[in-house]
Structure 1
Amino acid sequence: MGPITQFIDHHYRHFNAAALKDAAKGYKLHMDNGGQMLVTLAGAMSTAELGLSLAEMIRQGKVHAISCTGANLEEDVFNLVAHNHYERIPNYRDLTPADEQKLLERHLNRVTDTCIPEEEAIRRIENVVLEYWQDADSKGESYFPHEFMYKILLSGKLEQYYQIDPKNSWLLAAAEKNLPMVVPGWEDSTLGNIFTGHIIKGDIKKSTTVKGGIEYMKTWAEWYMAASKRAPVGFFQIGGGIAGDFPICVVPMLEQDLGHEDIPLWSYFAQISDSTTSYGSYSGAIPNEKITWGKLSPTTPSYIVESDATIVAPLIFAYVMGK
């Protein structure tokens, strides 16, 4: 065991610290028993540079599928090609509306304490991805959002722009393994908005050039049925929202809507969340609620760590990797 694992084992004994350790031990045990793991990414995990730890988890075979928002899909690539142009604003809570307007005028889009540069990140990627969209459109081909990104990264077209060590890009690690992925709600991402704009302008003729949520759910169901026959599948949820809700629903859909028998439930569940566990929110629902929806069983190892994912996820990943 490495120093991080030893530190957690010694110090993390109660409350959310104990929940973190229990979730990490459960994840590791699931892997040791030959299980597979889906990791879901909500929020701005890519801008938080989760790739520093997640990419290595993927390379070590401790992540077998990803569900992420469109923002997390694109922002990992933004960071890959424009990292040196990002600006961090530690005193973001003190910004006035006038200060925010000045950031806008400098084409800096703020995510909490970090500003994404429009020209170096967003427009640079738009110029490349538009070529791939238009090529597929002209050929009558359709691909998922992540498949377009995989193609671009594996082509090497962006290598000249890399501003971080590519080993720290989780999406590049996923592309190299052709990791199964779903990106529900991609349409509300920056690139989703840009794609829509090109449809409206007529630069792209068919909106079906980029496949959407229904196609994602269909392929996800096919993946889950095949994967769960090979080995138990666990669910590690970072944050809440559609990145978590979309893929977890595949189990009750297969059983209740399609009538499949003997569909295995998720065999491990953990969530890192700062959402209040009330008010009817899905993000704040405790794991037991998922039993009533046919997603988890009463015996599924389940954990919830109510804390900041940017702190918790790297620690859990380090523990799973024995660092």
Structure 2
Amino acid sequence: MSEKPITSFIEKHFLHFNSAALVDAAKGYKSHLESGKKMLISLAGAMSTGELGISLAEMIRNDKVQIISCTGANLEEDIMNLVAHSHYKRIPNYRDLTPEQERELLDQGLNRVTDTCIPEEEAFRRLQEHIFKIWKDAEANGERYFPHEFMYKLLKSGVLEQYYEIDPKNSWMLAAMEKNLPMVVPGWEDSTMGNIFASYCVKGELNPSTMKSGIEYMTFLADWYLKEAGTEGVGFFQIGGGIAGDFPICVVPMLYQDLEKEDVPFWSYFCQISDSTTSYGSYSGAVPNEKITWGKLDADTPKFIVESDATIVAPLIFAYVLGW
């Protein structure tokens, strides 16, 4: 048997169409890292609930990603899966559910993400109990942190270890915390923990300024890019569409158009995994070349788009990059 069974299988069978695009993107990713450049991965959708952590945690541990941009949902849902996995419920026939059956799931405290239901009591409320104390302590000490930094504090404290229900090596947030991986979490307010934080602010129990903002995330990212991009730029590996990708990719045009830093390099590799079809006005469905006109990519930037389900494609690309 091959020492690299997944890589060998991919190279033998993935020869055309989307499978060939997957191979090209994976080879481009490897070449990018081998040339000494850094890579950003953006996570949209429900990749944490889709248990991408099994492969993404390995990417983090093996220094195959240097910064992550993700939605607030992906930030928290990896930790929810870590502490409440046995309480999740899979619904294979989710396409056949009636509105009444959907309401029954809500009444049972089960919030559905495609074929998987997240248990409200064991997941959301379990995190809420402990994260609130960390928020409150920071405020009492006059401290302010980013959303992901609060999550790192939560994991580092060890208070959740009593609840662990999966192998900790399969949690990408634990791997990121251990590496103190840089992160940006744009639009965190629309996540469950963001909603909960806002509710405490409405009740007067927390101050909104205790949580660092999206603008502060952008200024952090600008500083990071200037320090880490060198003369050749950083790579951009985008899973899905939405704010997780839109937010960080804009830092390059901001730096040279708005801050007039004319020597800032473009993003130097771009891959998007998406099943969004190219259509009128669809940002997620735009082909990579459109990003050239916005000053994000250059004409000769390696560009790849794999139009498929990210829960299939991303683990395969990661396995290839890891040499599995």
Establish whether TM, by shorter chain, passes 0.5.
Answer: yes
Aligned partner of residue 103 in structure 1, secondary structure: helix
**Please, which runs of 5 or more residues in structure 1 have no aligned partner?**
none
Give the C-alpha shift of residue 230 in structure 1. Answer: 7.8
* 1:179-258 aligned within 5 A: 179-204=181-206, 206-229=207-230, 232-258=233-259
Equivalent position of 1:317 in the other structure: 318
Structure 2 letter corresponding to 1:98: E
Give the C-alpha shift of residue 232 in structure 1. Answer: 3.7
Q: What are the Cα deviations for residues 84-106 of structure 1, in whole angstroms up to 9, with x where unaligned?
A: 00000000111111111111111
Structure 1 letter corresponding to 2:281: G
Equivalent position of 1:4 in the other structure: 6
Aligned partner of residue 24 in structure 1, secondary structure: helix
Aligned partner of residue 152 in structure 1, secondary structure: helix
Which of 14, 35, 43 is 2:16 aligned to?
A: 14
Asked if the contact 1:43–1:239 (Cα under 8 Å) also holds between the matched residues in 2, the reply is yes
Which of 142, 145, 160 is 1:143 aligned to?
A: 145
* 1:65-144 aligned within 5 A: 65-144=67-146
Equivalent position of 1:39 in the other structure: 41
**Please, which runs of 5 or more residues in structure 2 have no aligned partner?**
none
Give the C-alpha shift of residue 229 in structure 1. Answer: 2.1
- TM-score, L = length of structure 1: 0.98
Find the aligned partners of 2:46 and 2:306 in 1 and give their Cα distance. Answer: 18
Structure 2 letter corresponding to 1:83: H
Asked if the contact 1:58–1:174 (Cα under 8 Å) also holds between the matched residues in 2, the reply is yes
Structure 2 letter corresponding to 1:37: M
Find the aligned partners of 2:210 and 2:280 in 1 and give their Cα distance. Answer: 38
Give the C-alpha shift of residue 309 in structure 1. Answer: 0.3
Q: What are the Cα deviations for residues 167-196 of structure 1, in whole angstroms up to 9, with x where unaligned?
A: 000011011101110000000000100000
Structure 1 letter corresponding to 2:214: G
Asked if the contact 1:51–1:170 (Cα under 8 Å) also holds between the matched residues in 2, the reply is yes
Give the C-alpha shift of residue 60 in structure 1. Answer: 0.3
Q: Report how many aligned residue pairs link the two structures.
A: 322
Structure 2 letter corresponding to 1:110: R
* 1:263-274 aligned within 5 A: 263-274=264-275
Find the aligned partners of 2:282 and 2:179 in 1 and give their Cα distance. Answer: 34
Question: Following superposition, which runs of at least 4 residues in structure 1 exceed 4 angstroms of deviation?
Answer: none
Give the C-alpha shift of residue 231 in structure 1. Answer: 6.5
- TM-score, L = length of structure 2: 0.98
Asked if the contact 1:36–1:231 (Cα under 8 Å) also holds between the matched residues in 2, the reply is no
Find the aligned partners of 2:190 and 2:96 in 1 and give their Cα distance. Answer: 28
Aligned partner of residue 79 in structure 2, secondary structure: helix
Q: RMSD of aligned C-alpha atoms?
A: 0.9
Q: What are the Cα deviations for residues 268-294 of structure 1, in whole angstroms up to 9, with x where unaligned?
A: 000001112112111111110000111
Asked if the contact 2:41–2:68 (Cα under 8 Å) also holds between the matched residues in 1, the reply is yes
Equivalent position of 1:297 in the other structure: 298
Find the aligned partners of 1:10 and 1:274 in 2 and give their Cα distance. Answer: 24
